[in-house]
Amino acid sequence: MFKTKAKLVVLALGIFVLVLGFGYGVLARETKVIRLQTDDTDPATIDAFNKAMEEFQVTHPDVALQLEPIPPSGYGEQLILQVAQGNAPAIAKLDVDDVPEFQRRGLIVPVDDVIEALGEKDIDPPSLLIKIDGHHYFVPYSFDTFHFWVRKDLMNKYGVAAPDDWEGWLGYVKKLNGVTDGLGNVDIFGTVFPLGKSSMMRRLTHMLFWATGDSVFDKDYNFTFNSPNGAKVLNFIKEISKYSPPGSGEYSWWETVDALSSGRVASGPYPGRILSAVHRTNPNLFPHIEVVPFPKGPVLRATHLSLEGYVVFQGQPYAKEAKEFLAFLTSGEREVRFCLTVPGLLVPPLRHLRSHPDFMENPILKAKPESAKILLNPLAYELAIDTGQEAGVLVDGKIVPGIEQRARNPYSFAFAKELIIPMGVQKVVLVGEPVEEVLDWMEKEFKTLMAEVDAQRS
């Protein structure tokens, strides 16, 4: 009798475990895990992500969203490794220059439905739209543009106007180089111009060349910088950098932020981050800084537009839900909250959100209404694009329409990593090599790199 009962207990337990296991299996299958990977690791940004995820899961209780923040220094390598191992996240922030290569390799899927849900016509400027073979593969969540930062206190004290063009830029820095302010800074430098081998100098050089009425590559991807206008740009950089602090040959993004926010310089090019950086680190300087549009060149006023966005990877079991969350994350209150984690830097791609009351109620932006208008308005420039879109955009000094329909430069991902243009600038400014010889060297280097890329793809 005991044995019979024992058998029944074991049988019952076995059935319970089987049923329990089956139940857990059902739950596991019903829980849709979606991973989002980003290099945005600032605490305020993480809070914005987490709040958006919590709000989405209220109406999608079967979705488990996992945020995977990775420091920027190792982000790209980590993402590529996960893709190679077949462990790609559902959603990931991806450098816009890498999008064509990831699409060519079949690693990412179209996101036309996300763009449609956001409202394609509301995404402005149109250069934020990245189409490949007629489909969207990139969901922009923010952008920023280069502007020019000036010191109102020095302008008033020494009777200098904000520069409107290259000539005015040179006049401004010459007049204010070596002056003293009322904040304890002496021997102030007229400007900061970063000459380090970096993406910052690459973008600035592109901007200056666009302002001459030329694009660095023509529509057939021929290098057109080796020209009189290219020489004009290199000579201008050589002249303006005379008024930049010692050590500018090593300067990139953060060194430029430090120079501008410390009060050691009277001006400099940078996106909108300066506003929040000065507010946080040097409140005494905050009332005296202002942003103006980047100085106009010989032909037009141009700026580099940096895009930040997400892609959806191929082979995801819950791609539909991932796209739904992506549309949710990059719209409405979630998008506004995210952009306000760095006021003045992150601008929402959706035009209607830029007039959201939360922007002008933000203490930093509210204190600088004139600067806020410029920072939130990319249309202050005749041309606002990024380096991957610029091939053939300018012909005979005129902008060719249809930026959003133009294929991205298929070599841009390689150009962004090799930094040939910054090395050329250094040869001229820091080493003193002849401009004509450096232009020939740059053209040769680009042709070699393009041939290597072609060979790898064949």
CA 422 from centre of chain: 18
φ, ψ of residue 383 to 5 degrees: the values are: -140, 125
The span from the first CA to the last CA of the chain, in angstroms, equals: 78
Residue found by looking up tokens 């893709």 in the block:
83
Q: Which of 151, 225, 230, 240 is nearest to 194 (CA)?
A: 240
**Dihedral angle at the C-alpha atoms of 151, 152, 153, 155, nearest 10 degrees?**
90
pTM: 0.88
User: What DSSP letter does each residue of 58-91 carry, written as one string?
Assistant: HH-TTEEEEEEE--HHHHHHHHHHHHHTT---SE
The b/e string for 92-102 (b: 16+ C-beta within 10 A; e otherwise) is bbbbbbbbbbb
Asked whether 91 and 314 are in contact (CB, 8 A), the reply is no
- Local structure of 134: helix, strand or coil: coil
Q: Which of 117, 23, 132 is nearest to 322 (CA)?
A: 117
| Tokens encoding 343 | 């006021």
Mean pLDDT, consecutive 10-residue stretches, the chain (458 aa), reads: 35 32 44 95 94 97 96 91 95 93 94 97 87 92 95 97 97 96 93 96 97 95 96 98 97 96 97 95 97 96 94 96 98 97 94 93 95 85 90 91 75 89 98 98 96 90
CA distances from residue 63 to 66, 323, 335 in whole angstroms, order as listed = 10, 12, 20
Strands 147-151 and 267-270: antiparallel
Residue found by looking up tokens 């023509």 in the block:
218
The DSSP bridge partners found for residue 424 are none
Q: Which of 201, 179, 343, 193 is nearest to 263 (CA)?
A: 179
- Local structure of 426: helix, strand or coil: helix
In this prediction, residue 341 carries a pLDDT of 95
In this prediction, residue 131 carries a pLDDT of 86
Residue found by looking up tokens 């793809």 in the block:
457
In this prediction, residue 413 carries a pLDDT of 84
